[in-house]
Amino acid sequence: MKRKRAENPAAYAAKRRKITKISDSKCKTKIAVDCSFDDLMSDKDIVKLSKQLQRCYTLNRHMEAPLQLHLTSLRDKTLRRMETFIDGYKNWDVVIKQERLSDIFAPSNVVYLCAESENLLDTFDEEKVYVIGGFVDHNAHKGLAYERALAAGFQHARLPIDKYFSFSHEESSDCVSCF
């Protein structure tokens, strides 16, 4: 493969698409992953979450118009996992904050995405921040993201995933499926 690339670099260069930085993206829709749940997860689930975050970053990075991706409350076990096993995460083209969601965004601009919400999200507003709960719970804490959204005074909505896709419950509740 290396020899073929050396013999005809133009053929391989054409396949590689230019990466668009989020600051230069035409898409201004903000997505935040709320990583404040890691005290409720096992070490095994923290590993799964860090892999899901990496996958979300990779998917976003390769989009023609990437979303404005934020990781909030990134600290404790999740932060240690990222620092130890996810090389270069500090160089990701995302906004990474240790602060809580409510310290970064005005509650009136936050829409927490939760399966329990009766509000069906059908359009995105660039003024809003759409939040995915960053936790792997296997239904151990069903409804927790919804309860936290209500307690914080955030708006909430549910993605119409079931309208377009057929997933097992576990698949539809991970970060990558929401992303």
- Supply the residues annotated as catalytic: 137
CA distance linking residue 126 with residue 123, whole number of Å: 10
User: What DSSP state is assigned to residue 112?
Assistant: E
Name which of 66, 71, 68 is nearest 90 in CA terms: 71
Residues forming beta bridges with residue 31, ordered by sequence position: 69, 130
Measuring CA to CA, how many Å separate 40 from each of 25, 110, 133? 35, 23, 12
DSSP track, 45-103: HHHHHHHHHHHHHHHHHTSSS--EEEEES--HHHHHHHHHHSTTGGGSSSEE-SS-HHH
The residues, any chain, with a CB within 8 Å of residue 178's CB and separated by 6 or more, are 113, 132, 159, 161
